[in-house]
Amino acid sequence: MAIITNRWDSAEHLKTEEDIQLYLEACLEEAGDDPNAIIHAFSVIARAKNMSKLAKQG
């Protein structure tokens, strides 16, 4: 029997402004000096807020 998995999308779990704030704080702590990680975090937040045009530019 094959195992079926789904791709994890953090944006689906960012429902409130508090969720977004906590997510961004955690990303900034983990990212350190990595600008790509911070850009990725902002693109996830943009997708969570249905700002897909901005997310695609990230």
- DSSP letter string over 1-58? -PPP-----GGGG--SHHHHHHHHHHHHHHHTT-HHHHHHHHHHHHHHTT-HHHHHH-
The rounded mean pLDDT for the chain is 88
What is the pLDDT averaged over residues 6-22?
Answer: 93
What is the pLDDT averaged over residues 20-46?
Answer: 93
Cα distance between residue 27 and residue 40, in whole Å: 9
Q: What is the pLDDT of residue 33?
A: 87
Q: Are 38 and 28 in contact (CB under 8 A)?
A: yes
